[in-house]
Structure 1
Amino acid sequence: MKAMILAAGKGERMRPLTLTTPKPLVRVGGVPLIEYHLRALAAAGFSEIVINHAWLGQQIEEYLGDGSRYGVSIQYSPEGEPLETGGGIFRALPLLGDEAFVVVNGDIWTDYDFAALRQPIAGLAHLVLADNPAHHPAGDFILLDGQVRDAQPGSPTLTYSGIAVLHPALFNGCTEGAFKLAPLFRRAMTQGQVTGERLDGLWVDVGTHERLAEVETLIEARH
């Protein structure tokens, strides 16, 4: 099974750090965010990694190289213009092959064990959902008996963690260009094609300086 790390975000809310450094190379605990993913994926048995990039993407290629020092092989999917999550994955599909693959947002930090995802999926997508963080109290989806459904008023929700297993068929009918991933999830949900699990562990969506500091604190506590 291959894995893709999404690393094309510009990180507007983390300026001035991201004016000269791509967000996935921002360091926390002395280590670039994306390096935590590479090490965790390698430890979980993933050896073929695809990374997309846009803003200052050459820095990512220069820092990570071919992946050999992490025990993996990296292929890059450069984007001249930002293609958003859906469009970025769609462009990289030729590198990902015909089987289901893992996708991870490059700007999260987690201790999740990616080895749990190395199994066939029943539908078009399998989402890892986290407890709603303070900055996103409304959540995204409902998890009911292993099936993910769109949020309904009054039902307890969870937040999409940015970790999933996707089948290339999820993108059937899509065309090249910028588009979001969530509408594809919702289309597949109406067909009962999206399973899910609740993330049991540490997870932070590192979108601001405050949340970067939160990860620093978590890492220090673990040591």
Structure 2
Amino acid sequence: MKAMILAAGRGERMRPLTDALPKPLLAVHGKPLIEWHLEALARDGVRDVVVNTAWLEDLIPAALGDGSRWGLRIRYSMEGRDHGGALETAGGIAKALPLLVDGPDDCFWVVSGDIHAPGFRFDAAQGERFAAGELLAHLWLVPNPAFHAKGDFGLDSDGFGLADSAGPDGVRWTYANLALCRASLCAGIAPGSKAALGPLLFAGMRERRISAEVWRGAWENVGTPDQLDALNRPRAF
């Protein structure tokens, strides 16, 4: 199964650091954020990765190359070059589908290039089980961070995501920007169109075609310079 790393965003809240560097290339513990994902994907058996780019996009392939140093093949979906800017999450996935899949039933991993989840496993067996079913997506959710206290989705007792309410636990969780996706989730978006992923996820949940689970390992959405500084502080053991 292939994987897509979302790396096209401008990173406005991370300015001025992102005035000269794409956010996925900012370093955490001496390593660019995106490299943490590349290492994890290679460790877990993924061999083909698509990275979408827009903001300062030439710097990303210059930094990562063809992926051979990690035992990967990296291909790039150049939204800035082809469309003049980022296409948002679903639009970016739709443009990249020809590099990711052969048909609408094929599946792939999706991870945002600006999160840090060093213990997450891109489990091949779980990917195979998902591909054998008919769901549109399987999402990982995390406890709500302070900057997103209201969360995104509820989680039903049977493992389906809830678009319009909290689950039986009374909680709405935050989408971790980690997912397994089926190509048909975004196949209706014309390549080159701007489109957000959220409305597609809400619609899929209302049809009970999106499952989810809670990830309780280390996770950070690295959105501001202060968050990056905090993540890079030496840890006491």
The TM-score with structure 2 as length reference comes to 0.89
Letter matched to residue 171 of structure 2: P
Gaps of at least 5 residues in structure 2 are none
Alignment correspondent of 2:208: 192
Asked if 1:150 corresponds to 2:163, the answer is yes
Q: Which position in structure 2 is the counterpart of 1:216?
A: 232
C-alpha contact 1:128 1:197 (8 A) present in aligned 2: yes
Secondary structure, aligned partner of 1:85 = helix
SS at match of 2:148: coil
The superposition leaves residues 165-204 of structure 1 with CA deviations (integer Å, 9 ceiling, x where unpaired) of 1101112432231010011111111111001111020000
Output the aligned Cα RMSD.
1.6
Supply the distance in 2 between the matched residues of 1:69 and 1:184 (Cα, whole angstroms). 35
Distance 1:174 1:64 in 2: 28
Query: Are residues 159 and 118 of structure 1, via their aligned partners in 2, closer, same or farther at CA, if it must alter by over 3 Å?
Result: same
- Between the aligned residues of both structures, percent identity stands at 46
Q: Is the 8 A contact 1:124 1:170 kept in 2?
A: yes
Pick aligned residue for 2:219 from 203, 206, 215: 203
1:112, distance to aligned residue in structure 2 (A): 1.3
2:186 maps to 1:171: yes
Q: What's 2:112 paired with? A: 105
Which range is displaced more, 64-73 or 205-214? 205-214
Cα deviation for residue 222 of structure 1 reads: 8.1
Partner of 2:122: 114
Q: Which amino acid aligns with 1:141?
A: F
**Cα pair 1:140 1:151 within 8 Å, conserved:** no
1:1-223 matches, cutoff 5 A: 1-80=1-80, 81-97=85-101, 98=103, 99-110=106-117, 111-115=119-123, 117-121=126-130, 122=133, 123-144=135-156, 145-152=158-165, 155-176=170-191, 177-217=193-233, 220-221=234-235
Cα distance in 1 for residues equivalent to 2:195 and 2:45: 30
Change (3 A) 1:222 1:31: farther
Q: How far apart in 1 are the matches of 2:142 and 2:230?
A: 16
Residue segments in structure 1 that go unaligned for 5+ positions in a row: none
Structure 2 Cα separation of the partners of residues 8 and 172 of structure 1: 19
Using the size of structure 1 for normalisation, the TM-score is: 0.94
